[in-house]
Amino acid sequence: MSQISGGHLVAKYLKEVERVGIVFTISGGHIENILDGLTQYQIRTIDVRHEQAAAMMAHAYSIYNNMPGVCLVTAGPGFTNALTGIANAYLDNVALVVLCGRHPLRDDLTGALQEMNQIDMVKPVTKWCATCYDIKRIPEYLSIAFRQATMGRPGPVFLELPPDILFVSTDEKSVALPVRRIHKTYVQPDPSELEAAARIINSAKRPLFIGGSGVRMSGSGDALAQFIDKTGFPFALLNNGRGALPDNHPLCINDGGFTGIMTGAPQADVIIAAGIRFNWVMQATKLFPDAKVVRIDIEPHEIDRNRASDVGLAGDCGLVLSKLLPLVEKQDHGEWASKLKNAYAAFLITEQEQRKNPSDPIHPNRLVAKIMEVFGEDAYYVADGGDTSYYGLAGFSSAHQAGVLIPAGALLGCLGTGIPFAIAGKLSHPDKPVIVLNGDGSFGFNSMEFDTAVRHNIPIICVVNNDCAWGMIKHSQGMSLGKDRTTCAELGMRHYEKMVEGLGGYGELVTEDADIVPAIQRSVASGKPACINVVTDPTVTSPATVMFYQNFAAI
């Protein structure tokens, strides 16, 4: 009779049912048996330096691979450390499976090591959470966890596994693994709603399609391509949906960054919003009070949030677009698209000049342009920071799905996501350059993950946009309190490149425009995880800061 421990059973399920290839983790006593199982079943472990980063890497891995990322954390502080990453995935609607240790069931209420009510803490930031109490039900619980994470609107799930079931063994044959089933059942709108949407789409004179993360999650690239090709709608793809069609598509307005949308949306007579929430990132739709709006969202409750839709189509984006395709007419909105591009270009003259011309000190827009000069569109970009997120969003361009990710610009506004996302990006696309543009403030949160990158030979390239401050906060405080009263906003000059060198990576300091490209090229040649610490103009304020401040000023 072959015996299997609970920990090994977890790993067996992950490998044989869900085909999990990588688990992001930190070792811990309560989860030792799962870790041993991961070795037994040859699942790669990326052991990080802070559980927050493990959750963020798994979150990003989910985006890059369109399958749930898995992280494994130990009880107590391992759990609490992971909470920020879990909350970030929750607000980002990303499938994330968190497996967590806990104190033994037998020691409940005895003051056991790391005894705490983890479930009640994690419940508000997960789609589903549970504790498994029976070794034989481990596969069943895992199956529920993966289904909950991925079906309908995705989100993080949390499964607590106590040592009472991990460290004991059972007859392996007595535990049947569930058969993984990809459910082909999709919610789709009523035909009359589709026809109503098509009528609006066919009547559009100045349309705009805005796609969000739901476009990527549904894997709707082909359906979207056909829809755009037929309707001729200019489009912007935001959040994790960026790259579902390439940024260089002739109808794409992503090169205008948020300015493109701010310029175009108020003029649009029809807006299709697919897989994107109308939240503060979209300024809760105040940008387009007069347009007719068709919304597509897998979560019916989102359809009228903050803005009544003229037609709401609840369903998977790809499926809905496919259903709309035969109902919409072939249109050419090329003239409107050109007009829109010309209009927002008139608003971006200064930014374009900043990109073209060297300056001393270096302007962050110029820094982004020089990075693009080295890597072009055949690369994956991440930006992390306040102002830095704006510069990355506006300046980076990629030909790839999720080729430009700005995780700190998502709902949680979670700084520190950049390096973990870049590591997950490089693991997902080892043959492509993966570059993270990090603010110097945000660099501090998870920069120890360079140790992870060195140990696991994951050669990301981090360019620090170093303005020696929490730039967005500093400039925002300058506007509200006065430049002489900024508080907790200065960081000073720090040699982050030396820190990375100390961890075994490659580092260079850059202070002049002419040195940016050669330094990046040397970092690539090193083959190591690299940090190029670029000192940029500390007086520069990004438009995002102005909007951020105006948002509070209006209160």
Point out which residues bind another protein (CB under 8 A). 259, 262-263, 266-267, 290, 339-340, 342-344, 346-350, 479-480, 541, 543, 546-547, 550, 553-554
Angstrom distance (rounded) from CA 442 to CA 413: 11
Q: Which is nearer to another protein, 124 or 289 (CB)?
A: 289
**Sequence-separated (6 or more) residues with CB below 8 Å from residue 69:** 24, 57, 58, 59, 60, 61, 62, 94, 95, 96, 97, 424
Q: How far is the CB of 536 from another protein (least distance, A)?
A: 17
Q: Which is nearer to another protein, 517 or 546 (CB)?
A: 546
Q: Which is nearer to another protein, 354 or 438 (CB)?
A: 354
Exposed, middle or buried, 183 (CB in 10 Å: 0-12/13-18/19+)? exposed
Q: Which is nearer to another protein, 173 or 205 (CB)?
A: 205
Q: Which is nearer to another protein, 307 or 426 (CB)?
A: 307
Backbone angles phi and psi of 143, in degrees to 5: -65, -45
Beta carbons of 130 and 144 less than 8 angstroms apart: yes
The single residue listed with the structure tokens 């019916």 is: 300
Backbone angles phi and psi of 141, in degrees to 5: -65, -40
Q: How far is the CB of 259 from another protein (least distance, A)?
A: 6
Beta carbons of 530 and 459 less than 8 angstroms apart: yes
Q: How far is the CB of 110 from another protein (least distance, A)?
A: 55
Q: How far is the CB of 235 from another protein (least distance, A)?
A: 18
50, amino acid identity: H
Angstrom distance (rounded) from CA 428 to CA 460: 12
Q: How far is the CB of 335 from another protein (least distance, A)?
A: 10
Q: Which is nearer to another protein, 128 or 347 (CB)?
A: 347
CA distances (Å), 315 to each of 300, 311, 312, 495, in order?
8, 13, 9, 49
Angstrom distance (rounded) from CA 187 to CA 123: 26
Q: Which is nearer to another protein, 305 or 339 (CB)?
A: 339
Q: Could you tell me which of 10, 98, 118, 19 has the C-alpha nearest to residue 55?
A: 98
Angstrom distance (rounded) from CA 72 to CA 58: 10
Neighbours of 41 (CB within 10 A): 16
3-state secondary structure 25-63: ECCCHHHHHHHHHHHHCCCEEEECCCHHHHHHHHHHHHH
Q: How far is the CB of 540 from another protein (least distance, A)?
A: 10
Q: Which is nearer to another protein, 137 or 339 (CB)?
A: 339
Q: Which is nearer to another protein, 521 or 550 (CB)?
A: 550
